[in-house]
Chains A and B, each alone.
Chain A
Amino acid sequence: MFKLILKMAWKNSFVRPVRTLLVVLMIAISMGMMLGIEGLYDGMSQNMAEKNKRSDSGDISIFAKDYRINKELKFRIQNAAKIEEELQKNPQIRSLVLRLSADGLVSTARKSSFAQARGIDLDDEEAFGKFSEFLEEGELLLGDKNAIIGIELAKTLKVNVGSKVVFSTQDSSGEINSIALKISAIVQTSNIILDNNALFIDKKKMFAFLGVDAKDATQIAIASDDAKLLNILKTKYPTLDVKSFFELQPMMQMMEDMMVIFNSITFFIIMSVVFVGIFGVMYVSVLDRIREFGIMLAVGMEYKYIRLQIYFEAIFVGLIGFFSGSLLGLLLLIYLRDYGLDFSAFADALQSWGYETIIYGTIKLSYFTTTFLAIMSASVLSVIIPLRKIKNLNPIEVIKAEK
């Protein structure tokens, strides 16, 4: 019986092929577009998060207690090299990098600005976050007198590659010290803070300039995919400030939350479109076949079989819509992943928020599973009213009506 009902449902789904096709198209196009937007939005925030991790915090960062509030050298991690040694033994850690930073003033002959000098080792940064990919202009050189500058800071100071700047800050003994530097490169990390303020200086030079022991650091950034690592490190280093990426970047957390809201909205939009589409088709289809159902009831078919048939019909239309929409959405997402979408017209606005001008999409299985659930729920819900019409059907009325 089940097989026969399936067969009837399948064939009835295409009794009016144009009508069914229109609903399938409606579902497919709305779903395809939604998947594209979802992937693009997700890609945008993921790309931003990934660049923030690579250029700065990693998945976890360790600071000395109070450093993040006071940003003073006295709140640095003493003997960070020993901690580095311990962390390197942990197989859950992909890579890590030690940095020494100091806030100060960078100036040219005409302009000055707040800046954060970040003592880095280019090889370590390359291994940690492919630093060379951030290069916009010049050559990545950190010799004795070289510095790499963030793109927005360079604009503020109106400096180019080859320009000279002076960075002044308080050293570890409390004295104001200055260092003259030549800009060797301009980088764009898409990390707003770094792009606006960072001046990358050779780490060894930074130790000497600030009078800090070469074993110390202000930040240890760790790259790891292990979700449990944060708590392990928090327990292991209770005197230090161990923070996750999202704790350090609350805006990214907000973007993730926005993504959840966005996905929920997408879910309901798709569900509404499918609901309206299938409801329309099924309602008209049931009205068209009301005599058929009445006769089925008259000859002894139980209502539960008719209900099953109607559910299957709605699910078939929903499924075809889902698969067509998945195909369309997948093609769109592949295009967005490989070629991205060029928003150069809004470059200034996007860059000021840390976004790139070409935004690439991401593809996640969850886009499809969520949409599948939305479509199936809508399919099932959309036939409730048409089914009520059949349930209230009096076979006698149908038989009378045919005369």
Chain B
Amino acid sequence: MIRLQNVNKYFYKDEPREVHALVDINLIIEDGEFTLFSGPSGCGKTTLLNAIGALDTIDSGKIFLDELEISLLNEKERTRIRLNKMGFVFQAYNLVPVLSVEENIGFIMKLQGFSDAQIKERVQEVASLLKIDNKLQSLPNTLSGGQQQRVAVARAVASKPKIILADEPTANLDSKNSQTLIEMMLELNEKEGISVVFASHDELIKESVRRIVRLEDGMLV
């Protein structure tokens, strides 16, 4: 479970151009939830996602991952939390270009210290679910955008994180690939029980998620 209590975040604090990006956010995301942060551009979706993902710090308030207050952690501890508890899917896939699909999917597990056999087994399992098991030996640049994004999802899922944070994951995909990706993530959410939080404008995602959290000017509405 993720719990946010009175979270505030400013950009350019104490400067004339100060922006109050998150305003007193109180939110609970239960385990296994499939949630969408929605709202107009600049409303604070990505900022909120980054704060939950321990990528960014907050100026006040508290963020808990289960009982652990992640808003108190230092940089090194936040890196460790991101590695072991979270999975990330970005708009631009961001795969390691010199590694094969198989190595990209197993990359986080490798960082976590899993054995090669464990990684191989899990990579095969996730790749089958995402229907990229026939591309395991390919390099990312030989795949289509949709396939690359599935590899990115597989990488995020492979290590069985507590939560997957996906920032505009369908922004670079056509509607068909977007639909396929959402369906696959829904399937993963059900099968693996991993919480998924999206930040997106995509109407397709809105139709698919069970919970929509709307933001406007940094506030929940």
Contact = CB atoms under 8 A, between A and B. Distances in A.
Interface of A: 1, 4, 7-8, 11-12, 15, 291-292, 295-302, 305, 395-396, 399-400, 402-403
Nearest to A289: B97
A120 B55 CA distance: 89
B56 interface: yes
Interface stretch (B31-39, B76-84, B122-130): B76-84
Contact of A1 (B81, B83, B110, B155): B110
Contact of B79 (A292, A300, A402): A300
A292 B96 contact: yes
B110 A299 contact: no
B98 interface: yes
Interface string B49-93: 010000110000000000000000000100111111011101110
B72 to A, nearest CB: 18
B203 to A, nearest CB: 19
Nearest to A292: B96
Contacts of A8: 96, 98-99
Given A299-B88, A402-B92, 13 more contacts: A1-B111, A15-B97, A291-B92, A292-B97, A295-B94, A296-B96, A299-B108, A300-B82, A300-B111, A395-B55, A399-B55, A399-B90, A400-B46
A7 B139 CA distance: 14
Contacts of A395: 55
A302 B79 CA distance: 7
A302 B80 CA distance: 8
Contact of A4 (B83, B92, B94, B103): B103
A399 B167 contact: yes
Contacts of B83: 299-301
A1 B113 contact: yes
A61 B115 CA distance: 70
A298 to B, nearest CB: 6
Contacts of B94: 291-292, 295, 402
B217 interface: no
B122 to A, nearest CB: 16
Q: Which label, helix, strand, loop or mixed, suits the secondary structure of the A interface?
A: helix
Nearest to B90: A399
A244 B99 CA distance: 63
Interface of B: 46, 50, 55-56, 76, 79-84, 86-88, 90-92, 94, 96-99, 103, 107-108, 110-111, 113, 155, 167-168
Contacts of B155: 299
B55 A396 contact: yes
Contacts of B79: 297, 300-302
Nearest to A398: B94
A305 B111 contact: yes
Contacts of A12: 98
A15 B90 contact: no
A300 B55 CA distance: 10
A11 B113 contact: no
Nearest to B94: A295
Contacts of A298: 55, 82, 88
A295 B167 CA distance: 13
Contacts of B46: 399-400
A7 B102 CA distance: 14
B47 to A, nearest CB: 9
Nearest to B83: A300
Contacts of B55: 298, 395-396, 399
A86 B90 CA distance: 88
Nearest to A297: B79
Contact of A299 (B50, B56, B82, B167): B82
Contacts of A4: 99, 103, 107, 110
A7 B96 CA distance: 12
A15 B168 CA distance: 29
A11 B100 CA distance: 11
B10 to A, nearest CB: 14
A396 B56 contact: yes
Contacts of A297: 79
Nearest to A8: B98
A296 B111 CA distance: 10
Contacts of A396: 50, 55-56
A309 to B, nearest CB: 10
Given A1-B110, A301-B111, A11 B91 contact: no
B98 A403 contact: no
A403 B168 contact: yes
A185 B215 CA distance: 107
Select the residue from A11, A15, A297, A403 with max chain B CB neighbours within 10 A: A403
